Structure 1
Amino acid sequence: MRPEAIQIIKDEHLAISAVLYSLRYLIKGMRKGEPANFPLLKAILDYIVSYPDRWHHPKEDKFLFAAVRQRTHDADALIGKLEREHQLGYPMVEALKQQLIAFQHGDSGADQLFFDTAERYAELEWAHLQTEEEQLLPIAERVLTEADWRDIAQAFQENDNPLFGIKPKEEAEALYQRILKLAPAPIGFGNAP
């Protein structure tokens, strides 16, 4: 039987991919002259900051990657690469936030800088998610125990951080629904542009 944690991780990857697809879809349109939908772009960046960067990636680092490292050294190089990609994403998102502000203020060249950075970020993240699913998860399935998988599933299922009263899944879902409400149809379907 396939561990529940794998489905949770893949479901989170699917949601992240849909948001990235929306970002690329918007950029493609703006490069063709469509007006910028700044509320939607901000919602997308809020989602990326809130969910993948604050909740999803740190849990992968702390629980999934750590568990695999405890069971085998065969994945050390791969995990190191994935951790570096997590770290590469954080400054790109910070740059995107600043570039979006400059773009919205009409600064010269800010639109193209935002488009280029957003496309690089989306490509990095898509490749990263694919590497996790095609390379790391099969290794994890092979080496992790039922107890390991229970711990990983529990970590990914957490809804609340009682110390701060944060509900990451509710926050991410609210942002995701806001993106869907603001987005022109059809977003999130078909092949990535």
Structure 2
Amino acid sequence: MKPEAIQIIRDEHLAISAVLYSLRYLVKDMRKGGAPNFALLRAILDYIVSYPDRWHHPKEDKYLFAAVKRRTREADGLIGRLEREHALGYPMVENLKKQLIAFQGGDAHAGEEFFDTADRYAELEWEHLRTEEDVFMPIAERVLTAAEWAEIAAAFRENDNPLFGIKPKDEAEALYQRILSLAPSPIGFGGDTPP
């Protein structure tokens, strides 16, 4: 039986992928002349900042990657790459936010810059998620103990951050539901998938 933490991480990856799909769908539609849905684009970027970048990736770094590093050196290069990709995501999203503001403000070049950056970001994240699941997780499954998996699962299940007084899962779920409510029907991922 697979550790609970693996399913939690895969569920989070699925929600992140659905949001990335929505972003790519909107960019493709706008490139074909579709009207920009700025409210939906802002909600997508808010979700990416509030959930993957602030909660999901740091927990992978602090708990999952650290546990594997303590057990084996065979994944050091891969972990280094995954951590660098985590670090690359935040500045790309900040750049996307600036480009979106300029695009909404009528800057003639900002729309195309936003489209290109959004495509690069989505591609980076999808490749990153695939690498974690297809390459890294089998190593983690092989080397980690049940106690280590339990600690990782507890970290990923944690809902409250007492330092900030917020509930990341609740915040992410609200943003995710906002994306679903704003998304045009062809995207419709089925509203009940948790972040």
Q: Which interval holds the TM-score relative to the shorter structure?
A: over 0.9
Aligned to 2:32: 32
1:163 Cα deviation from its structure 2 partner:
2.4
User: For the residues of structure 2 that align with 1:40 and 1:50, how far apart are their CA atoms?
Assistant: 15
1:94 Cα deviation from its structure 2 partner:
0.5
Aligned to 2:109: 109
Q: TM-score, normalised by structure 2?
A: 0.96
Q: TM-score, normalised by structure 1?
A: 0.97
User: For the residues of structure 1 that align with 2:164 and 2:80, how far apart are their CA atoms?
Assistant: 30
Q: Which amino acid aligns with 1:33?
A: G
User: For the residues of structure 2 that align with 1:77 and 1:18, how far apart are their CA atoms?
Assistant: 28
Note the alpha carbon deviations across 1:136-170, whole angstroms, 9 max, x for none.
10000000001100110000000001222110000
Aligned to 2:193: none
- SS where residue 62 of structure 2 aligns? helix
1:82–1:128 Cα contact (<8 Å) kept: yes
1:75–1:139 Cα contact (<8 Å) kept: yes
User: For the residues of structure 2 that align with 1:118 and 1:188, how far apart are their CA atoms?
Assistant: 20
How many residues were matched structurally?
189
Q: Which amino acid aligns with 1:59?
A: K
User: For the residues of structure 1 that align with 2:81 and 2:71, how far apart are their CA atoms?
Assistant: 18
1:188 Cα deviation from its structure 2 partner:
5.6
- SS where residue 171 of structure 1 aligns? helix
Aligned to 1:45: 45
Consecutive unaligned residues of structure 1, counting only runs of 5 or more, are none
Please tell me whether residue 147 in structure 1 is matched to residue 144 in structure 2: no
Q: Which amino acid aligns with 1:117?
A: T
Aligned to 1:73: 73
Note the alpha carbon deviations across 1:83-128, whole angstroms, 9 max, x for none.
0111111110010010000000001210000000000000000000
2:96–2:114 Cα contact (<8 Å) kept: yes
Q: Which amino acid aligns with 1:109?
A: H
User: For the residues of structure 2 that align with 1:188 and 1:76, how far apart are their CA atoms?
Assistant: 39
Task: Indicate the RMSD between aligned Cα atoms, in angstroms.
Answer: 0.7
Please tell me whether residue 130 in structure 1 is matched to residue 142 in structure 2: no
Consecutive unaligned residues of structure 2, counting only runs of 5 or more, are 190-195
User: For the residues of structure 2 that align with 1:14 and 1:188, how far apart are their CA atoms?
Assistant: 14
1:21–1:188 Cα contact (<8 Å) kept: no
* Aligned sequence identity (%): 78
Aligned to 1:87: 87
Moved over 3 A (4+): none
